[in-house]
Amino acid sequence: MDIVPTAIPDVKVLLPARHGDARGWLSETWRRDCFAAAGIDVDFVQDNTAFSATAGTIRGLHFQTPPCAQGKLVRAVRGSIFDVAVDLRRGSPTYGRHAAATLSAERGETMWVPPGFAHGFCTLEPDCLVIYKMTALYSPTHEKGLRWDDPALGIVWPVANDAAILKAADRAHPLLADLGAVFPATSIPGR
């Protein structure tokens, strides 16, 4: 497995090896010992699948607050996405910064988004299917969001603001400056 560096060392893009022959290929997409060696030693408790019919669909930026903060292992199994993680851990040297990568079904990249980060993605083509594993169960009372187009984040999304397809709630999330301390440094597991 190759590890591709990102702008934030705690966010990792992993490229599992594919073993192929005339029939196609096989890839280990999750293997505890390999991921632990890459610094991702977690227990997953929930898997989600998201389908987006249209290119330019944005989902995010979402996170859950402690004690239900989620780490996510994200990959596209059909199509491709622009995947983003924003550091919300107060006291972190990368607080307010983001890491982004293109994840495609064709190449098989996987992105690890640790707890303490807001996460979102934009579909780069129609009919995208994204799966992600999570380290905490979904909790509606702990679900929060960060404004996807906050200029302070400096995210260059692959779709114009007026062409992006989002649900109304995602357009209404607060800016980073208005968010407050949702992840004090001591609230993050493993810190």
How would you class 180 by CB atoms within 10 Å of its CB: exposed for 0-12, middle for 13-18, buried for 19 or more?
A: exposed
The active-site residue, picked from 19, 62, 98, 173, is 62
From CA 27, how far away is CA 51, in angstroms rounded? 22
Tokens of 7: 């702008």
Query: Which neighbouring-strand residues pair with 75?
Result: 110, 131
Nearest Cα neighbor of 87 from 116, 120, 122, 121 is 116
Task: Specify whether 132 is catalytic.
Answer: yes
CB 157 within 8 A of CB 58: yes
CA atoms within 13 A on the CB side of 65: 14
From CA 21, how far away is CA 9, in angstroms rounded? 34
The active-site residue, picked from 95, 98, 119, 132, is 132
Q: How far apart are the first and last CA of the chain?
A: 26
CB 116 within 8 A of CB 88: yes
Task: Specify whether 138 is catalytic.
Answer: no
Active-site residue set: 62, 132
